[in-house]
């Protein structure tokens, strides 16, 4: 490559880098201020990304463009979450196994599994034992849903996993979202009933039959998601169309749940 060509190539790279930085910063500002981009703006974003992809850019730039393009695509078509069963299996949890996922197999009226009868000293000892093993903590927490403490411990474990390895294809993020969505259904203000009372009256399998849609649920109404969770999710999946609890999305089923756990 001659010297003039090298200079032209270098200037092209500088210009491309400036455009990419501007795209990322403007998208982050949309997320930060919860603004809704117009169709014209989204189309212009797509055009710029497509033009950049045609340039002979360094290999480390291509994943950045791919992530931006995926965020825009998610905004258009909605996020397709990794299936819950697949996300769980990555962490050694079998959704179709009664021992791993007892609440999601239990039928009210049957004897309550021992693991769901209470969180006692053994639970606390196991959590302490697995303090530095987030996957083990996650398995333990999932096994003890629908206890509120189990929901919280599952989120703590998944955050630790995400801190260790946060890639675009990580199953930890969709699993965190599923857990936060389920929690937004069973949570009752001012006080959620104990997990054994919930499990005895309402089976988790009812929630498995419901679609979990990011565009409909968003993040802000899911109480388990902190600010870092929400920013990570919106950065990965784009801006949702709205924010509401799973309980709001399924009013009839939620009323059945309330009647079952709070009999008059």
For 96-109, how does the pLDDT look when each residue is reduced to its tens digit (9 = 90+)?
Answer: 999 999 999 988 88
Q: Is residue 132 classed as helix, strand or coil in its secondary structure?
A: coil
Can you read off the two tokens belonging to residue 179?
């857990």
Q: Going along 105-251, which residue ranges are E strands?
A: none
Q: Could you say which of 57, 77, 97 is where a domain stops?
A: 77
What would the two tokens of residue 169 be? 């294809």
Contact of 149 with 119, CB cutoff 8 Å: yes
Query: Which residues pair with residue 110 across a beta bridge?
Result: 108
Judgement on whether residues 127 and 181 belong to the same structural domain of the protein: yes
Last residue of a domain, one of 77, 93, 110: 77
pLDDT band at 51 (very low <50, low <70, confident <90, very high): confident
Who has greater pLDDT, 114 or 88? Answer: 88
Q: Considering 77, 103, 118, which residue would you say is the last residue of a domain?
A: 77
If DSSP states are collapsed to H, E and C, what string results for 213-264? CHHHHCCCCCCCCCHHHHHHHHHHHCCCCCCCCHHHHCHHHHHHHHHHHCCC
pTM to 2 decimal places: 0.74
Dist CA 189 CA 178 (whole Å): 20
Same structural domain for residues 136 and 55? no
**Does residue 116 contact residue 99 with C-beta atoms inside 8 Å?**
no
Give per-residue pLDDT as tens, 184-218.
999 998 889 999 999 999 999 999 989 898 988 99
Looking at the fold, whether 66 and 101 belong to one and the same domain comes out as no
Question: How many domains does the chain divide into?
Answer: 2
Question: Is 22 in the same domain as 103?
Answer: no
Residues 6 or more apart whose CB falls under 8 angstroms from that of 104 comprise: 95, 145, 203, 204, 205, 207, 208
On whether both 49 and 137 belong to a single domain, the answer is no
Average pLDDT (27-32) is 64
Domain extent at residue 197: 84-261
């Amino acid at each position: 490559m001659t010297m003039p060509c090298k200079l032209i190539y270098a200037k092209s790279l500088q210009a491309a880098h400036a455009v990419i930085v501007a795209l990322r910063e403007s998208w982050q500002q949309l997320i930060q201020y919860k603004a809704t981009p117009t169709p014209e703006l989204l189309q212009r974003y797509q055009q710029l990304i497509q033009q950049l992809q045609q340039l002979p850019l360094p290999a480390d730039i291509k994943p950045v463009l791919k992530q931006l393009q995926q965020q825009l695509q998610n905004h258009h078509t909605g996020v397709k979450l990794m299936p819950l069963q697949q996300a769980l299996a990555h962490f050694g949890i079998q959704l179709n196994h009664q021992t791993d996922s007892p609440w999601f197999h239990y039928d009210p009226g049957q004897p309550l599994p021992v693991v769901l009868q209470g969180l006692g000293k053994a639970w606390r000892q196991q959590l302490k034992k697995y303090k530095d093993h987030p996957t083990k903590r996650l398995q333990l927490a999932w096994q003890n849903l629908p206890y509120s403490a189990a929901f919280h411990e599952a989120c703590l474990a998944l955050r630790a996993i995400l801190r260790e390895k946060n890639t675009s294809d990580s199953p930890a993020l969709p699993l965190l979202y599923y857990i936060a969505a389920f929690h937004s259904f069973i949570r009752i203000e001012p006080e959620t009933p104990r997990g054994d009372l919930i499990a005895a009256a309402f089976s988790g399998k009812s929630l498995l039959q419901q679609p979990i849609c990011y565009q409909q649920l968003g993040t802000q109404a899911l109480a388990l998601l902190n600010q870092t969770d929400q920013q990570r999710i919106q950065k990965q999946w784009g801006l949702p169309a709205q924010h509401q609890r799973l309980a709001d999305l399924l009013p009839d089923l939620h009323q059945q749940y309330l009647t079952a756990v709070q009999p008059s």
